[in-house]
Every structure is written in structure tokens, then in C-alpha cells.
Amino acid sequence: MKIDRQLFKFLALSIIFIVFYESSRFIEKPLDQAHIYPADFNRALLSISNPIMNFVFSMSYYLFHPALIVLAFILLYKRKKELLWKSTKIYFLIGFLWIFFSLLYPIAPPRFNANFPQIRMSVFPIRDAIIGLKYGSFPSFHIFSCFLASFLALRFFPSFYKPFLLISMYYSFVVLYLGEHYWFDVLAGFALSIVAFKLMTSESFKFKQKVK
């Protein structure tokens, strides 16, 4: 069976990124060298905390972020195939830059504050055991991915836009509630998604092609 070249390159770059991300934890600075900021805004959200919400939000935290961006790229491949490779390169280029920034200037999420309640449950303990960067709070790559998927939906598959957007907004609340990101991480991730979307859909922005 012949594999589509664009799809093959997308899968190859995805695997490289995942391996690099998961390996980054071995060279990450320890917590005492990471930056931790006040988490008053996050703690204010915990006034409505209860065990059921903690479980549902913990499940959501693991599942929604990868599901949205993977679905967006699948739909992009089916409906706007010529943009797949360009979009892939932009997405993972930003991802690699985020990892390098987090290694150089690690920012610990709010839940690493000593006085922040540990409400996020290890609903997938194996995933927790192999998690990559722990101190890559800024900007939120989760929010970046979710809203980028929403913008791609708005442009290329509008019937998916509303559910994508609602999930992205819900997910923004989830990461704040669980203490996974500060409010400025979320805003930065949202802003970054706009930049990435503009680059992906810009006719004037193109990667240099190899001359055969």
C-alpha cells in the first residue's frame, strides 16, 4: 500500500517531536531552579472544587488537548491537503522553540506552589510516569494547540468550529482550575495560536523550497 508523502512526513515529524519532548525531562532543571509565581487567580477558582469536578477535569486534561489537534490535522489532510506539510512544520517549529525556551527558562505550573491543593488526579498513571517537561508552563502549549485547531476549523471545516471552540474554552478553564497553567500562560498560548494560524494560511509566507 502506497503511503501519501505528506502524511508520511507529518507522522515522521510527529514522532520526532514526541520523542524529543518526552526525553526533555532528563535534561530539565530541578524544581528549585524553576520560576514559580503567585497562583491567587487559580486558587480563586477552587472555591467550587469538589471530587467529581476534580475527576472529570483530570480526565479532560489528558484527553481533549491531543484529540483536538489530531482531529484538526486529520481534517486538514482530507480537505486542504496542500496545506498539511506547511502547517505541520509551523506547528512543530513552535513546539520545538517552546521546549528550548522551557529548558532555558523553566516556569513551574501553579500546582507546584507549596500552598496549592493537589487536586489533579493521576487518572493515567503511566502517562504521568513518562511525562516530558514538568516546568514548561509558559506559554501554554495546550491552549495553543486547542485554539489553533479551532481557528483551522473556522477556516476550513466550519461545521466543526463551534464544538472545537467550546472545548477550547472549557479546556482553558480546566488547566487554570487544575493549576497546570497561570492566566498569562493561557493568554500567551491563545496569542501564539493566532500567529501560527496566520502563518499557516498566509499566501506570502512560504518555506524555502529545495531546488532540484
Supply the pLDDT for residue 212. 44
* Distance separating alpha carbons of residues 162 and 77, to the nearest angstrom: 20
Question: What Cα–Cα distance (Å) separates residue 98 from each residue in 26, 93, 127?
Answer: 16, 9, 20
Q: CA dihedral defined by 203, 82, 189, 62, rounded to 10 degrees? A: 170
Are 136 and 1 in contact, with CB atoms under 8 Å apart? no
* Phi and psi torsions of 115, nearest 5°: -100, 15
CA distances from 132 to 56, 87, 116 (A): 23, 23, 22
Q: What is the pLDDT of residue 121?
A: 78
CA–CA dist 186, 182 (Å, integer): 7
> What pLDDT, on the 0 to 100 scale, is given for residue 1?
46
Answer whether 83's CB lies under 8 Å from 76's CB. yes
- Give the pLDDT of residue 103: 93
Phi-psi region of 101 (alpha: psi -120 to 50; beta: other; left: phi over 0): alpha
Running along the chain, 212 residues long, what does each successive block of 10 average in pLDDT? 70 87 88 89 86 89 86 87 86 94 93 84 72 88 94 91 94 93 96 94 69 43
d(CA 28, CA 104): 9
